[in-house]
């Protein structure tokens, strides 16, 4: 295409209702998702102010954040007081006329897993949720980003948000990934090279051969951690993989609408001469499996690397590692597969293929939590649940689960966990728990060995 517009310009311009003072604009919001952690606060505040949800048909709610993931779950939660969050959100959603995917609904799951499954997120749409990982859904060529509760209230009441336009950045991954290297390693490499604030003030388009080669689930993993990069959002130009994924989904357009939508989606890309405020290029063929060593996701190294010589003292003290120490071989207490980053069917397929009849090491607590009830059913139909269970993993109902500790279930105090989640913050997964974030393959390889391990070593002798 001629011209110099970016995909972000197109997403932005097509939603400007009116310009505001300065660089801001009133931006139309097409889709809103709530969850039970903050849904009641937002909806009740709206109601108390005498305001209405402008268009409830475009607002959805789900229970994912604090609902239990143990079999036979109800509104009761291991988290003290969790029941109130679920029940108040349910009541408020009902009063507002909002569709809710409730505790035992067959479509329940993590918001950023079920929204694409149901065709709620679409190319060219704006979508917000009071959850920082809403950027995951940018994988569909949508402008999707996380907001606070007040902004969710604003969007529900007015169908808009008041925004200052961020700068634009393109992160291009050239070449192809090697075997055993995943989209999680791509985003962790970006974070390792440019830091947890590297994307501040920017909306980030992911592009390049390695991105085009990813399936939709891999693209979601990549976009998921744009928020860890401090970016407003991350997104990818839609292509045939995007359209094939969405066609026929419940809330996706059908018939003539589908044809009309498709025509409008085909132009959602950056012009050849598009001008970005910042461009980054990373050679995908040089990326290796990554593991975090510290307490923010930028503190990450290759699994074959050592803790940096200039590593800060505070995270080192917390995590219990030393400068120059090899990360491979560090003993772990637990392993976790799940979260909006890595809990989709392809993640579980790849992870389960690592076992080849092997079991996890003695004494390791290992948990697998499918990202949605639908993912769980599909995985069970393929026998993936049995592979995990036979290897020694717990197999759970879907939800955010132990990605974070809400006061209920957690890993033991001070334990070391290798995890497919997105945050290695202090005590994120439990009191004093030390989290190392990595890909599903790396988590399984480490769970089998009982120490942080390179998944490529396991793959060497086998055709995994």
Partner 1 sequence: MAEPFTILTSLPMPLIRDNIDTDQIIPSREMKSTGKTGLTDGLFAGWRYTEIGGREPNPDFVMNDRAFADSRIILGGTNFGCGSSREHAVWALAEYGFRAIIAPSFAPIFAGNCVRNGILPVILAPEAIAIIEKSAAPVTIDLEAETVSLAGGENWAFPIEDEAKSMLLEGLDAIDLSLKMSEEIATWQDADRAARPWIYLGANA
Judged by CB under 8 A, which of 109, 116, 130, 234 binds partner 1?
A: 130
**Is 336 an interacting residue with respect to partner 1 (CB under 8 A)?**
no
Residues 271-290 that bind partner 1 (CB under 8 A): none
Half-sphere exposure of 299 (CA within 13 A, CB side): 25
CB of 362 to partner 1, least distance (A): 28
DSSP H or E segment with residue 7: helix 7-13
Cβ distance to partner 1 smaller for residue 179 or 250:
250
Q: Is the distance from CB of 271 to CB of 7 less than 8 angstroms?
A: no
In sequence order, what DSSP letters do the residues of 83-122 get, joined into one string? HHHHHHHHHHHHHHT-EEE-TT-TT-B-HHHHHHHTT-S-
Residue placing its CB nearer to partner 1 in the complex, 296 or 439: 296
- Stretch touching partner 1 by CB under 8 A, among 1-9, 100-108, 252-260, 377-385: 252-260
Interface with partner 1 (CB under 8 A), residue from 47, 157, 213, 353: 157
Distances from the Cα of 30 to the Cα of 22, 34, 58, 97, 161, angstroms: 24, 14, 7, 17, 11
Out of 151, 185, 397, 454, the residue judged to bind partner 1 by CB under 8 A: 151
- 205 near partner 1, rule: CB under 8 A: no
Q: How far apart are CA 19 and CA 169, in angstroms?
A: 22
260 binds partner 1 (CB under 8 A): yes
Judged by CB under 8 A, the residue of 53, 147, 348, 449 near partner 1 is: 147
Residues in region 3-62 near partner 1 by CB under 8 A? 17-18, 20-24, 26, 28, 30, 37-38, 40-41, 44-45, 49, 51, 55-58
Based on CB atoms, which residue is closest to partner 1, 261 or 301? 261
Crossing angle between the packed helical segments 39-48 and 149-158, to the nearest 10 degrees: 50
The smaller minimum CB distance to partner 1, of residues 153 and 217, is found at 153
Q: Which of 191, 196, 330, 334 binds partner 1 (CB under 8 A)?
A: 196
Does 361 engage in binding with partner 1 (CB under 8 A)? no
Distance CA 54, CA 52 (A): 6
Contact residue for partner 1 among 1, 164, 275, 286 (CB under 8 A): 164
Question: Rounded to an integer, what distance in angstroms lies between the CA atom of residue 139 and that of residue 418?
Answer: 25
Q: Following DSSP, what letter does each residue of 228-296 receive, concatenated?
A: GGT-SEEE----HHHHHHHTT-TTS--HHHHHHHHHHHTT-S--TT---SEEEEEEGGG---EEE-SSS
* Distant-in-sequence contacts of 425-429, Cβ < 8 A, 24+ apart: 425/295, 425/296, 426/295, 426/318, 428/403, 428/404, 429/336, 429/402, 429/403, 429/404, 429/405
Q: What is the Cα–Cα distance from 34 to 37, expressed in whole angstroms?
A: 8
In eight-state DSSP terms, residue 359 is: -
- DSSP annotation of 193: H
Report the nearest approach of partner 1 to the CB of residue 102 (Å). Answer: 17
Residue 412 found at the interface with partner 1 (CB under 8 A): no
Give the chain's radius of gyration (CA, Å).
Answer: 21
| Contact call for residue 77 and partner 1 (CB under 8 A) | no
234 near partner 1 (CB under 8 A): no
Among 67, 121, 125, 274, binds partner 1 (CB under 8 A): 125
CB of 195 to partner 1, least distance (A): 8
Residue of 344, 329, 288, 338 lying closest to 446 (CA atoms) = 329
- Asked if 331 interacts with partner 1 (CB under 8 A), we say no
Min CB(393)–partner 1 separation in Å: 24
Backbone angles phi, psi at 448, to 5 degrees: -65, -45
Q: Would you say 140 or 251 has its CB closer to partner 1?
A: 251
Write the DSSP symbol of residue 56: G
The DSSP call for residue 402 is: G
Indicate whether 248 belongs to the interface with partner 1 (CB under 8 A): no
Of 146-154, 212-220, 300-308, 368-376, the window that binds partner 1 (rule: CB under 8 A) is 146-154
Among 104, 158, 278, 285, binds partner 1 (CB under 8 A): 158
Per-residue x/- mask for partner 1, residues 366 to 405, rule CB under 8 A?
A: --------------------------------------xx
Interface pattern 293-322 for partner 1 (x via CB under 8 A): --xx-x---------------x--------
Phi, psi of 62 (to 5 degrees): -150, 155
Cβ 378 to partner 1 shortest distance, Å: 25
Which candidate, 1, 270, 11, 229, places its Cα nearest to that of 121? 11
User: Which 80-119 positions form the footprint of partner 1 (CB under 8 A)?
Assistant: 80-81, 84-85, 88
Q: Report the nearest approach of partner 1 to the CB of residue 437 (Å).
A: 13
Residue number, 55 or 244, with CB nearest to partner 1: 55
List 174, 305, 425, 450, residue binding partner 1 (CB under 8 A) = 425
Contact call for residues 399 and 202 (beta carbons, < 8 A): no
Least distance to partner 1, CB of residue 26, Å: 6
> Could you tell me which of 149, 161, 183 has the C-alpha nearest to residue 35?
149
């Amino acid at each position: 295409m001629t011209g110099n517009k970016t995909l972000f310009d197109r997403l932005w311009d097509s939603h400007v209702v009116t310009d505001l003072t300065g660089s801001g604009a009133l931006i139309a919001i097409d889709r809103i998702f709530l969850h039970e952690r903050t849904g009641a606060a937002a909806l009740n505040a709206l109601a108390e102010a005498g305001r209405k949800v402008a268009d409830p048909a475009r607002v959805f709610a789900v229970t994912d954040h604090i609902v239990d993931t143990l079999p036979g779950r109800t509104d009761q939660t291991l988290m003290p007081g969790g029941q109130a969050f679920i029940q108040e959100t349910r009541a408020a959603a009902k009063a507002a006329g909002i569709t809710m995917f409730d505790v035992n609904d067959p479509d329940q799951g993590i918001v950023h897993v079920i929204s694409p499954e149901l065709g709620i997120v679409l190319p060219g749409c704006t979508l917000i949720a009071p959850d920082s990982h809403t950027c995951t859904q940018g994988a569909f060529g949508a402008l999707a980003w996380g907001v606070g509760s007040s902004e969710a209230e604003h969007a529900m009441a007015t169908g808009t948000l008041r925004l200052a336009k961020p700068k634009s950045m393109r992160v291009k991954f050239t070449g192809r990934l090697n075997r055993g290297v995943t989209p999680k390693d791509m985003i962790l490499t970006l974070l390792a090279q440019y830091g947890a604030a590297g994307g501040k003030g920017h909306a980030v388009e992911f592009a390049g051969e390695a991105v085009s080669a990813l399936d939709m689930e891999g693209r979601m993993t990549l976009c998921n951690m744009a928020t860890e990069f401090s970016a407003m959002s991350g997104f990818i130009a839609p292509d045939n993989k995007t359209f094939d994924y969405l066609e026929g989904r419940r809330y996706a357009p059908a018939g003539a609408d589908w044809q009309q939508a498709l025509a409008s989606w085909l132009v959602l890309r950056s012009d050849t001469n598009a001008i970005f405020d910042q461009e980054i290029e990373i050679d995908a063929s040089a990326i290796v499996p990554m593991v975090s060593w510290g307490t923010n996701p930028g503190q990450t190294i290759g699994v074959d690397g050592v803790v940096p010589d200039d590593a800060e003292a505070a995270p080192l003290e917390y995590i219990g590692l030393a400068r120059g120490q090899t990360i491979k071989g560090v003993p772990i207490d637990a392993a976790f597969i799940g979260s909006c980053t890595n809990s989709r069917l392809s993640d579980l397929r790849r992870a389960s293929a690592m076992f080849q009849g092997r079991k996890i090491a003695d004494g390791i607590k290992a948990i697998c939590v499918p990202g949605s009830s639908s993912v769980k059913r599909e995985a069970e139909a393929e026998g993936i649940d049995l592979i995990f269970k036979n290897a020694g993993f717990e197999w759970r109902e879907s939800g955010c689960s132990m990605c974070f500790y809400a006061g209920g279930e957690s890993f033991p105090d001070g334990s070391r966990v290798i995890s497919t989640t997105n945050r290695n913050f202090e005590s994120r997964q439990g009191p004093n728990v030390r989290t190392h974030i990595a890909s599903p393959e790396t988590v399984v390889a480490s769970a089998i060995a009982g120490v942080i391990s390179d998944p490529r070593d396991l793959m060497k002798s086998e055709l995994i």
